[in-house]
Amino acid sequence: QVQLQESGPGLMNPSETLSLTCTVSGGSISSYYWSWIRQPAGKGLDWIGRIYTSGSTDYNPSLKSRVTISVDTSKNQFSLKLSSMTAADTAVYYCAREGAVTGHYFDYWGQGTLVTVSS
């Protein structure tokens, strides 16, 4: 059974750069897209971006100037960096798997990690 687990700081200061890692277990990271999705408290889901295991990336234009997603296939991990954090970036951050061949839907999700931006 594939499992995803986010890790990273829960509290950030404004203007800092967020770094989150998603560790994939129970299956290979190869041949899938891996996404970051966030959800502010009480609100809907926002797709941040994704990476394919080849390293090609695709970002939401609304965040593109501040986002970097990378992958380390040797560790079965992928990571998110989001710069210039503000209170508006406070949210639960999820990592998720999207199929590349079988279908472009998010079939596995991490449990989510709450990131709070506050001074």
Partner 1 sequence: DIQMTQSPSSLSASVGDRVTITCRASQSINSNLHWYQQKPGKAPKLLIYAASNLQSGVPSRFSGSGSGTDFTLTISSLQPEDFATYYCQQSYNSPRTFGQGTKLEIK
- Cα 12 to Cα 9, 48, 79, 91: the distances in Å are 7, 18, 17, 12
- Please state the closest distance from residue 8 (CB atom) to partner 1, in A: 16
Any contact of residue 61 with partner 1 (CB under 8 A)? yes
Any contact of residue 106 with partner 1 (CB under 8 A)? yes
Spatial distance between the Cα atoms of 5 and 78, rounded to a whole number of angstroms? 11
Among 23, 51, 94, 115, binds partner 1 (CB under 8 A): 94
User: DSSP readout, 10-25?
Assistant: SEE-TT--EEEEEEEE
Spatial distance between the Cα atoms of 25 and 82, rounded to a whole number of angstroms? 24
Closest of 37, 34, 3 to residue 115, by C-alpha: 37
Closest of 118, 107, 114, 112 to residue 32, by C-alpha: 107
Residues 22-51 that bind partner 1 (CB under 8 A): 35, 44-47, 49-50
Binding segment for partner 1 among 13-21, 24-32, 73-81, 109-117 (CB under 8 A)? 109-117
Any contact of residue 113 with partner 1 (CB under 8 A)? no
Any contact of residue 52 with partner 1 (CB under 8 A)? no
Binding segment for partner 1 among 16-24, 59-67, 68-76, 78-86 (CB under 8 A)? 59-67
Binding region for partner 1 (CB under 8 A): 35, 44-47, 49-50, 58-62, 94, 96, 98, 103-107, 109-112
